[in-house]
Amino acid sequence: MKLLADVNISRYVVDRLRSDGFDVIRALEILDPRAPDEDIITEARRLGAVVVSHDQDFSAVLATTGATKPSLINVRVSYVDADRLAENIAAAVRATATDLEAGAIVTLDDAGIRIHDLPVR
């Protein structure tokens, strides 16, 4: 599964995910750093990638547009440790792979993981 990490996901997290075998691209590697969320969503669709972001606006865009893709891992954790974050993102991807492939918003927070199927109703 390909991941497209938003600009707010640190390169250390991306590097750790890559070292763990994940196919992950940082949006900064392929888009302008000021690219709006809609451009990141469009690129994720083109790549067949799941967006990973701390930005809560992605959920709103997906919900209000009735989108079925791309899936989103919505990171809402209180910690900033890159290793811990990468480990928890990896665990969330593994645990929800079927949902992400079908189209979902997976919220990762301090309490665990929540899944909302796309389109949001």
Classify domain 2-117 at the CATH topology level.
Rossmann fold (3.40.50)
Whole-model pTM?
Answer: 0.96
| pLDDT digits (tens), the chain, 121 positions | 999 999 999 999 999 999 999 999 999 999 999 999 999 999 999 999 999 999 999 999 999 999 999 999 999 999 999 999 999 999 999 999 999 999 999 999 999 999 999 999 8
List C-alpha distances in Å: 41 to 1, 19, 65. 16, 25, 11
Domain residues of the chain, as ranges? Answer: 2-117
**Tell me, what's the pLDDT at 82?**
96
**Tell me, what's the pLDDT at 121?**
82
The span from the CA of 52 to the CA of 40, in Å, is: 10
